[in-house]
Structure 1
């Protein structure tokens, strides 16, 4: 009896997707750093020798609305804001928008191919051949996944620039130092990369889970065996599911399926006995 191969999580595909997302994030972040150097740093350098808090007596006169320092700072903040708007538009239109459709489609195609091969290998190990045919459901799943990934990719620059505006403009108004604002921008860059990693891993697992379910149903299978990743990052409840058989109708517990919860790297394996019995009867 041939050993049933394990269904592998699409790690390579997720890493490749993440690397491409980081490439876009780097371009966007470089634009932001350019604005920081050209527009923000001079404002902060000019005020490094004074208390820049709006509560400082040095900053106000009896008529604060006509204070030259305040008027100048307001003008500079307006200029910074316009610069941020320009680079946000450039990042969205010239960086992300140019590649988003191809990036999403390429990723979905790779995960789709990976999933088809993984399930096919298991079926051939049991039956000696793969009777699976093209399933229209797979195309619909892939189409929906592309749409979702386009939405997620486009959300990256929007979220980044929302936070960047807050960090820079609030930082200037609050009188934060150059180093403090630069540190917050670096943290934002790291957070954005981590979000891209979550998107890549989560979408890879979710799509593989949907495709595996569709392939199993195409075979007439009603059950699956939960296979956990068996490392330190696996959820305890998913570790408890490991090796147990569940139905595609109910899942494990309250409708939980491999790959469908956020950041889940578990996979679904076919149940050898079910496939053998079904094909013997056929």
Structure 2
């Protein structure tokens, strides 16, 4: 019987929820400050037909945006982000180890007992994901500043500006989901490949998640066997962007 490689769905879901929690809190703060501090200034900015020439309201709007930025530093605190990434990597590693230990029983070894490469891999992967989450915040503020200032200067309604902010918050949540799916597949795929080769497995069978989200290029690879030294042009399972495919080990005495 061919040993299964189980994708870490629970780790992916938990990671997304953790990042989404940060984005949701950031969005809540953004809309609260907008409603309480920015909205009154937008009303003041264009009243009495004076036109957009008053500096006072814009100054207050800028200070309000700085308040959002300041609050975001507490939401996206560096230690909180690192803890989220550490929990995520530990969960992916745990699923990978469980898979490998089960698969290795076929040849009577446990390659996970001594893994000198693992500490550095975990450290670099945690640092990489810390950077990805931090970038969410860094990319968020130029977007909302542009929405607010362009909306005010172009005379857009308060509702229109607020709706655009809500849309931007939704897009930021989509970015969080992309990171969670992409990093889960990529890290898991790299771990699987390394551990398979450490236990002497030189070939793998490509296996998709067998659902309607699988891209066509990966459907045609499903069930095919490749050498780790000569993978398909798509790369190793899990490593292409947002890939949830996995590598199933092919042992020397196993039927193809």
Decide which of 171, 175, 199 is 2:151's aligned counterpart.
171
2:142 counterpart residue number: 162
Describe the shift of the 1:77–1:160 C-alpha distance in structure 2 as closer, same or farther (beyond 3 A).
Answer: same
1:223–1:246 contact (8 Å) kept in structure 2: yes
Cα deviation, residue 87, structure 1 = 1.8
Q: Does the Cα contact within 8 Å between 1:27 and 1:95 map onto a contact in 2?
A: no
Give the structure-1-normalised TM-score. Answer: 0.84
Separation of aligned partners in 2, 1:173 and 1:48 = 9
Partner of 1:266: 245
2:41 to 40, 43, 46: 43
In the alignment, which of 176, 190, 194 is matched to residue 196 of structure 1? 176
Match of 1:105 among 71, 82, 86: 86
Which deviations, in whole Å up to 9, do the C-alpha atoms of 1:36-85 show, x marking residues without a partner?
A: 012221133346777xxxxxxx54xxxxxxxxx5442x321122112212
> Normalising by structure 2, what TM-score?
0.92
Offset, 1:144:
1.3
Tell me how far 1:158 sits from its aligned partner: 1.2
How many Å apart are 1:260 and its aligned residue?
Answer: 0.6
Structure 1 distance, partners of 2:53, 2:46, is 18
Q: Which residue of 1 aligns with 2:64?
A: 83
Larger radius of gyration: 1
Equivalences for 1:231-242 in 2 at 5 Å?
231-242=211-222
Would you say the 8 A contact 2:109–2:199 is kept in 1?
Answer: no
* Inter-partner Cα distance in structure 1 for 2:47 and 2:88: 51
Q: CA RMSD in A?
A: 2.0
| DSSP-derived class of the 1:149 partner | helix
Gaps of 5+ in 2: none
Please state how far the C-alpha of 1:111 moved relative to its aligned partner: 0.4
Query: Which runs of 5 or more residues in structure 1 are unaligned?
Result: 51-57, 60-68, 278-282
Aligned residues: 254
Q: CA deviation at 1:210?
A: 0.7
Contact in 1 for aligned 2:45/2:52 (Cα 8 Å): no
